[in-house]
């Protein structure tokens, strides 16, 4: 009997082959490195969800780092069934996005579209302000995903503003942000009043959602770009005093806490 544990990694942008504003090669390589370091793990890869139903059987952990690709209704149903039977899904960053639609006649003004895969994931991406430095707080110190992490850590990243869709999600990472500081015309349109935090400032950046015998863990951190795929027009002064976007940006990937989180997630998904 084989002692191998299979992990399937989905990492890519849209349209197919595009980086979609992210250094997909860097993120894919870093995740593959961490998986390769884990004894007994065998990894398969895809750039989108088009063949996900082929890879789920026999897979213990699904990891996704995407900017644009999302599972359609049938693929989401297959993921739900796999989770219910004990599968685990570690979803990063742009997995909570998907598709944006123009509002009115100005196609530059867009709003994200809530879809079936957001229900499976447990959250929906609303917007993020320009790249900034902020504090992340851990909220469940005994949870295996947070093992070895400090009570809080600073990170430079896209601070995702999320709608949590499943009230059963257990928050793991949070930050304080009373107001969305995005300047006029930046990012996506959404109802800011309707999505104001219940306490006026605490926003969830990571959580675990139980699904039958399995679970989903989502972490919003992880933006990265390189000179050939940078689309950030400017950044907050906390990242660069003059607002100039670094041509190469690794953000959370360069912090010990995020690296520990990746290692924890692989252990969480392969030892269940």
Q: Is the pLDDT of residue 1 over 60?
A: no
- pLDDT tens readout for residues 202-232: 999 999 999 999 999 999 999 999 999 999 9
* Distance from C-alpha of 62 to C-alpha of 120, rounded to nearest angstrom: 13
Residue 2's pLDDT is: 59
pLDDT in tens, 104-159: 777 778 999 999 999 999 999 999 999 999 999 999 889 999 999 999 999 999 99
For residues 205 and 98, give the distance between their C-alpha atoms in angstroms, rounded to a whole number: 17
User: 221 and 206 in contact (C-beta within 8 Å)?
Assistant: yes
Whole-number Å distance between alpha carbons of 12 and 33: 17
Neighbours of 60 (CB within 10 A): 18
What is the rounded average pLDDT of the residues 18-26?
Answer: 97
pTM listed for this prediction: 0.97
Both structure tokens of 202: 């605490």
Task: List the domains of the chain with CATH numbers.
Answer: 5-270 (3.40.50.880)
């Amino acid at each position: 009997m084989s002692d191998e544990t299979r992990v399937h990694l989905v990492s890519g942008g849209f349209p197919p082959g595009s980086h979609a504003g992210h250094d997909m090669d860097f993120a894919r390589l870093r995740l593959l490195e961490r998986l390769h370091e884990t004894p007994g793990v065998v990894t398969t890869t895809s750039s989108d969800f088009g063949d996900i139903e082929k890879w789920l059987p026999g897979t213990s952990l699904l990891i996704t780092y995407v900017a644009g690709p999302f599972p359609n209704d049938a693929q989401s149903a297959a993921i739900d069934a796999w989770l219910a039977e004990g599968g685990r899904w570690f979803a990063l960053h742009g997995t909570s996005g998907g598709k944006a639609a123009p509002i009115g006649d100005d196609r530059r003004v867009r709003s994200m579209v809530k879809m079936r895969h957001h229900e499976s994931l447990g959250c929906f991406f609303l917007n993020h302000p320009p790249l900034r430095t902020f504090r992340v707080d851990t909220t469940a110190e005994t949870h295996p995903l947070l093992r070895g992490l400090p009570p809080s850590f600073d990170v430079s990243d896209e601070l995702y503003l999320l709608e949590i869709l499943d009230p059963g999600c257990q928050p793991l990472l949070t930050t304080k942000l009373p107001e969305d500081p995005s300047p006029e015309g930046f990012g996506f349109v959404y109802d800011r009043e309707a999505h104001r935090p219940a306490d006026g400032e605490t926003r969830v950046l990571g959580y675990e959602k139980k699904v039958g015998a399995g679970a989903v863990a989502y972490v919003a951190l992880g933006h990265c770009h390189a000179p050939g795929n940078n689309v950030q027009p400017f950044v907050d002064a906390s990242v660069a005093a003059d607002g100039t976007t670094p041509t190469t940006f690794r953000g959370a990937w360069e912090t010990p806490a995020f690296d520990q989180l990746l290692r924890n997630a692989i252990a969480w998904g392969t030892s269940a």
